[in-house]
Amino acid sequence: MIRYDVHTWGALCMLRGSVFAQAARYSVVVAVVTAALKFLEEQSLWQINPLKGDVNSALFSGFTFTLGFILVFRTNQSYFRFWQGATSVCTMKAKMNEAAANLVAFLHCSPRCDEDKQEFIHMIVRLFSLLHASALEVVCVLLLSNLL
């Protein structure tokens, strides 16, 4: 598990577990090529756009619309999947809590002594807590294996 210290600005620049390091590789290359082309254009060594004012804006408009649509669609899908997973984990917790509560409720009808009942209640709570912890561990391991 990656632990972040959220009280420092250095958390934004971490290389381990961050997408910024991978994105920087591509963006630095594009920035260097752009700067070199702009330098060549300003020195009149290479003319990038000979038609200056006759650029078809429909091409750029179509490209930005498509890019925006893809970004919004992908973000919407990831947001939906996050909340679906969070809801499923909360539902699992609620079902386990309900099962443990039902066992304890049925115990009140038992003819056993109070000491045995308390011992059984403590055992049920510990076992369900262990079951919930192991289920969350499986979810975390699957999540981390998909991320790496």
Task: Give the Cα separation of 133 and 19 in Å (integer).
Answer: 29
pLDDT in tens, 63-112: 899 999 999 999 999 999 999 999 999 999 999 999 999 999 998 888 88
pTM above 0.75, yes or no: no
Q: Where are the domains of the chain?
A: 1-50, 66-148
- Identify the residue whose tokens are 């971490």: 14
pLDDT tens-place string over residues 123-132: 999 999 999 9
Backbone angle region of 131, left / alpha / beta, with phi > 0 → left and psi within -120 to 50 → alpha: alpha
Q: Residue 82 is inside which H or E element, if any? A: helix 57-107
